[in-house]
C-alpha cells in the first residue's frame, strides 16, 4: 500500500497526541475516501452539464445570499 505524508501544525499534533487510542492514519484514509467519493458523485452529476464555472459561481452566490437572508430573518 502506498504511503502519503500529511503535514499538521504543532497545535494540532499536540491535540492529536492527547488521543493515542485513535489511529490517525485510518482517520485520514477515511476522510480522503469520503472526499473522493463525493467528488466522483459530483463528476458524475456534472459530466453532461453545460454550465460554465461562472454559471456555477453565480448559482452558489445566490444560494449563499438566500441563506444569509434567511438566517438574518430568523435571528431578528
Q: What is the pTM of this model?
A: 0.62
Give the model's confidence band at 67: pLDDT under 50 very low, under 70 low, under 90 confident, else very high: very high
Residue 2 lies in a domain: no
**C-alpha cell of 10?**
504543532
Question: What is d(CA 8, CA 11) in angstroms, rounded to the nearest whole number?
Answer: 8
Q: pLDDT tens digits for 25-35?
A: 999 999 999 99
The candidate with the shortest Cα–Cα distance to 1, out of 29, 34, 40, 35, is 29
Residue 14 lies in a domain: yes
Residue 17 lies in a domain: yes
Residue 38 lies in a domain: yes
Residue 69 lies in a domain: yes
Domain count, the chain: 1
Residue 5 lies in a domain: no
**C-alpha cell of 45?**
452529476
Helix residue ranges, H only, the chain: 10-17, 24-46, 53-75
Question: What is d(CA 32, CA 17) in angstroms, rounded to the nearest whole number?
Answer: 21
Query: Which domain range does residue 49 map to?
Result: 10-75
Amino acid at each position: 500500500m502506498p504511503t502519503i505524508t500529511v503535514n499538521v501544525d504543532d497545535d494540532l499534533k499536540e491535540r492529536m497526541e492527547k488521543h493515542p487510542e485513535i489511529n490517525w492514519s485510518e482517520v485520514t484514509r477515511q476522510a480522503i475516501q469520503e472526499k473522493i467519493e463525493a467528488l466522483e458523485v459530483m463528476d458524475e452529476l456534472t459530466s453532461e452539464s453545460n454550465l460554465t464555472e461562472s454559471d456555477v459561481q453565480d448559482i452558489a452566490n445566490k444560494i449563499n445570499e438566500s441563506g444569509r437572508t434567511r438566517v438574518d430573518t430568523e435571528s431578528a
